[in-house]
Amino acid sequence: MNASLNTPATSPAAGMVIIGGGLTAATAAEALRKQGYGGAVTIVAAEAEVPYQRPPLSKGFLAGKEDDEALLPLLAHWYDENNVTLLTGVAATALDPTGHTVTLDNGTTLPYAKALIATGAAPRRIPLSGVDLDGVCTFRTKADSVALKLKLAGGGHHVVMIGSGWIGMEIAATATELGNHVTLLGLEDVPLSAAIGTTLGTVFMDRHKEAGVTFLLPASAAEIQGGNGAVTHVLTTTGVSLPADIVIVAVGVVPNIALAQGAGLTINNGIEVTAGLQTSEPDVFAAGDVANAMHPITGALARSEHWANAIAGGKVAARSMLGQDAVLDDIPYFYTDQFDLGMEYSGFGALTKDAQLVIRGSLEKREFIAFWLLDGRLVAGMNVNIWDVQDAIKELISSQRIIDTHKLADPQTPLEAI
Ligand SMILES: Cc1cc2nc3c(=O)[nH]c(=O)nc-3n(C[C@H](O)[C@H](O)[C@H](O)COP(=O)(O)OP(=O)(O)OC[C@H]3O[C@@H](n4cnc5c(N)ncnc54)[C@H](O)[C@@H]3O)c2cc1C
């Protein structure tokens, strides 16, 4: 590799510093090397882990079907082989945009030419009596998944899930498959309805009920009760006392903005960035769950908490750091797996609230594509147990053409012909 290729002029010794050890960080490091950057690349990762991806943590890894290696976007030896310095178990405590330095909690200071903040998000905490009891946990990291796997082992446990979003529903499915009794609390009448509406949320809820998951909706926890330091019950806001030896609080995440805040960057539901993922400081970029990026198609800021955004964002950030003209203009995408329901979703969730819902296929058979149309144009599409349609859905969204809803609902009309 040519060591001087694309090396920014600010300081020849100061290369690229990537803060955060998740999928965004790993993808950005890989993209820098793939783009031919030969200067120093350092990843500062707070967790004592080689960067890993999180989706399997609530699914195959928690179920014991996937091993540690399945979590790694890049195998451990990739970093050495590509001359990327990976500092694990080390957190960045300060970033000085004027001096171009990052201070670490091990006392060292790193100079940077360009920095990427990819610090992700952390579980939202709720001020609830009893959250510190043994058996009560949040869920974000590999360590959380390993610990929960141990707790769920053998089955027969009484699990109360507080939160009816994607993570809550996925863990509920896995815990049930492992032979545990799961009761799920959530603030809406139907789980997932904030994301996909009540009709489609009901499809997922019914599948869970079929498998034995109990839903108490809408309800939350008023108090977590225990004895000898360990959880025994959850008292709901509707006055029900649920026996519990495991309680999982999965009520969303908050972006890890402390470093950016300390550096004086513009904060607005995460770190506000341009479509090229540049922060309010020209040599500092942000990507992944922590970044609230301007989307070129909608002209609005959006913060995505999904796997595909971590990958796409890591790549765009790397190119922007190298001075290339890159923008994050992908149609947002995510997926979930719950029992035998496999789902993929593309589109702009924020635009679906007042949209027309069109279904192709059968909700009853749980094989369908749901489309959301706003003013006749497709803004989102979700396929459940139907595959190889994402490219066509994304094309329909990005074309922004007026769509014939009869053709859209007709399984005999190829999506490519609409
Ligand atoms: C259990 C689970 C299941 C999921 N399943 C899906 C799914 O099925 N589909 C989907 O699309 N998405 C899914 N997601 C979301 C997806 O995993 C995230 O969008 C993705 O992890 C974001 O990557 P990231 O690198 O931006 O942030 P993170 O993965 O949060 O990584 C950020 C890292 O930065 C570290 N860090 C924070 N502050 C500092 C600091 N000051 N110094 C150094 N390091 C720091 C953190 O410790 C963390 O390791 C899931 C998430 C979870 C938790």
> CB under 8 Å, gap of 24 or more: what pairs does 319-322 form?
319/31, 319/35, 320/276, 320/277, 320/278, 320/285, 321/16, 321/28, 321/32, 321/114, 321/116, 321/285, 322/6, 322/32, 322/35, 322/37
Q: What is the dihedral of CA 397, 399, 402, 404, to 10 degrees?
A: -70
- Ligand 1 atom closest to the Cα of residue 104 is 42
The pLDDT value recorded for residue 13 is 66
196 shares a domain with 100: no
Task: Give dist(CA 85, CA 70) in Å, integer.
Answer: 22
How far is Cα of residue 354 from the mean position of the Cα atoms in its chain?
24
Both tokens of 264, joined, read 């004086």
317 shares a domain with 364: no
Q: Whose CA is nearest to atom 34 of ligand 1?
A: 20
The pLDDT value recorded for residue 36 is 98
- Ligand 1 atom closest to the Cα of residue 23 is 25
Is 330 part of a structural domain of the chain? Answer: no
Candidate from 119, 174, 338 with most ligand 1 atoms within 8 A of CB, to mutate: 119
Is 156 part of a structural domain of the chain? Answer: yes
Is 221 part of a structural domain of the chain? Answer: yes
Task: Give dist(CA 281, CA 272) in Å, integer.
Answer: 11
276 shares a domain with 193: no
Contact between 292 and 121 under an 8 Å Cβ cutoff? The reply is no
- 103 Cβ closer than 6 Å to some ligand 1 atom: no
Contact between 346 and 306 under an 8 Å Cβ cutoff? The reply is no
Is 327 part of a structural domain of the chain? Answer: no
The pLDDT value recorded for residue 229 is 97
Task: Give dist(CA 38, CA 122) in Å, integer.
Answer: 33
CATH for 153:
3.50.50.60
- For the chain of 418 residues, list the mean pLDDT of each consecutive stretch of 10: 37 82 98 98 98 97 96 98 98 98 97 98 95 97 98 97 97 98 97 97 98 97 97 97 98 98 98 98 98 95 96 98 97 96 96 96 98 97 98 96 97 95
Task: Give dist(CA 340, CA 181) in Å, integer.
Answer: 18
Q: Whose CA is nearest to atom 3 of ligand 1?
A: 55
Structural domain containing residue 215: 136-251
Task: Give dist(CA 182, CA 415) in Å, integer.
Answer: 39
Is 130 part of a structural domain of the chain? Answer: no
The pLDDT value recorded for residue 14 is 87
Task: Give dist(CA 1, CA 102) in Å, integer.
Answer: 26
297 shares a domain with 222: no
Both tokens of 286, joined, read 């942000």
Task: Give dist(CA 353, CA 376) in Å, integer.
Answer: 14
- With 0-12 CB in 10 A as exposed, 13-18 as middle and 19+ as buried, what is 126? middle
- With 0-12 CB in 10 A as exposed, 13-18 as middle and 19+ as buried, what is 4? exposed
The pLDDT value recorded for residue 299 is 94
Domain boundary among 251, 281, 309: 251
Task: Give dist(CA 318, CA 325) in Å, integer.
Answer: 11
363 shares a domain with 312: no
Q: What distance in angstroms lies between residue 219's CA and the mean position of ligand 1's atoms?
A: 28
Q: What distance in angstroms lies between residue 166's CA and the mean position of ligand 1's atoms?
A: 14
The pLDDT value recorded for residue 321 is 98
88 shares a domain with 24: yes
Count of domains for the chain: 3
Is 69 part of a structural domain of the chain? Answer: yes
